[in-house]
Chains A and B, each alone.
Chain A
Amino acid sequence: MNFRKNVSTLKLPHYKSTASIEPVRIPIPQEVLLPMSPMNKHGATNAEPVVQAGDHVYVGQMVGREKDRGSAHVHASVSGTVKAVEEYRMNGARALAVRIESDGKQEPSPDLRIPQPTNLDEFLQCVRDSGVVGLGGAAYPVWAKLSAAQKSHIQTVLINGAECEPFITSDHRAMLEHGDLIEKGIELLKQFLGSEEFIIGIEKNKPDAIAALKQRFVNDPAVKVMELGSVYPQGAKQVLLYNATGKVVEKGQRLASLGVIIINVSSLIKMAEYFVTGMPMVERIITVDGSAVKEPKNLIVPIGISVKDLLPYCGGLKEEPGKILFGGAMMGKTQESLDAVILKATNAVVIMDRKDAKATEPSPCIHCGRCVAICPLSLNPTAFDRAMQLEDDEQRAALLTDAQVKVCMECGCCSYVCPSHRPLAATNSAALSFMRSWERAKKEGGK
Chain B
Amino acid sequence: MDRPIMSAGPHIHSGASGRRIMLDVILALLPAAVAGVVLFGLQALWIMLTCVICCVASEFLFNLCARRKQSVGDLSAVVTGLLLALNLSTKVPLWQCAVGSVFAIVLVKCAFGGMGHNFANPAITARVFMLMAFTSTVAGGAIPAAVDAVSSATPLDLIGVEGAGLPTIGQMFLGLRGGAIGETCILALLVGFAYLLLRRVIHWQTPVIFIGTVFVCYLIATGSFSTALYEVLAGGLVLGAVFMATDYTTTPITAEGRMLFALGCGLITFVIRRFCVLPEGVSYSILCMNILAPWLERWTRRKPLGGV
Contacts and interface: CB of A to CB of B under 8 A. Distances in A.
B248 A1 contact: no
Interface in A390-447: 404, 407, 410, 412, 415-421, 423, 425-426, 429
Contact of A367 (B5, B6, B116): B116
Given A336-B3, A378-B302, A366 B18 contact: yes
B294 to A, nearest CB: 11
A136 B11 CA distance: 18
B96 interface: no
Contacts of B303: 2, 378
Nearest to A357: B5
Interface in B20-55: 20-21
B69 to A, nearest CB: 9
B246 to A, nearest CB: 10
A370 interface: yes
Interface in A100-155: none
A363 interface: yes
Interface in B47-99: 71, 74
Nearest to B74: A363
Contacts of B304: 377-379, 404, 407
B279 interface: no
A330 B11 CA distance: 6
Contacts of A368: 21, 248
Contact of B13 (A249, A363, A421): A421
Interface residues of B, number: 44
A320 B5 CA distance: 11
Nearest to B297: A380
Interface residues of A, number: 68
A259 interface: no
Contacts of A13: 12
Given A364-B114, A369-B253, A416-B12, A334 B5 contact: yes
Contacts of B252: 369
B256 interface: yes
Interface string B202-218: 00000000000000000
A415 B12 CA distance: 9
Contact of B12 (A238, A329, A337): A329
Contacts of A331: 9-10
Contact of B11 (A352, A382, A418, A419): A352
Contacts of A356: 12
B7 A416 contact: no
A329 B10 CA distance: 6
B13 to A, nearest CB: 6
Contacts of A336: 3-4, 6
Interface of A is mostly: loop
B115 A366 contact: yes
A423 B113 CA distance: 20
A364 B116 contact: yes
Nearest to B200: A370
Contacts of B132: none
Contacts of B256: 1, 3
A1 B130 CA distance: 40
Contacts of B13: 360, 415-416, 421
Contact of B301 (A322, A337, A358, A380): A380
A325 B11 contact: yes
For A250, A359, A368, A407, the residue with the greatest tally of chain B CB atoms inside 10 Å of its CB is: A368
A135 B249 CA distance: 42
Interface string B226-256: 0000000000000000000000110111111
Contacts of B16: 370, 417-419
A163 B89 CA distance: 57
B249 A367 contact: yes
Interface string A335-356: 1110000000000001010101
B178 to A, nearest CB: 35
B300 interface: yes
A321 B4 contact: yes
B305 A419 contact: no
Contacts of A29: none
5 contacts: A356-B12, A404-B307, A407-B304, A419-B20, A421-B17
Interface of B: 1-14, 16-18, 20-21, 71, 74, 113-117, 248-249, 251-256, 258, 300-308
6 smallest beta-carbon distances between A and B, as pairs: A412-B10, A426-B8, A378-B302, A419-B16, A407-B307, A330-B10
Interface of A: 1-3, 7, 12-13, 166, 238-239, 242, 248-251, 320-325, 329-337, 350, 352, 354, 356-360, 363-370, 372-373, 376-380, 382, 404, 407, 410, 412, 415-421, 423, 425-426, 429
Given A372-B255, A377-B305, A379-B304, 19 more contacts: A7-B305, A12-B12, A166-B12, A248-B305, A249-B306, A251-B308, A323-B5, A333-B9, A334-B4, A334-B6, A356-B12, A364-B115, A367-B116, A380-B254, A412-B10, A416-B13, A417-B14, A419-B20, A425-B8
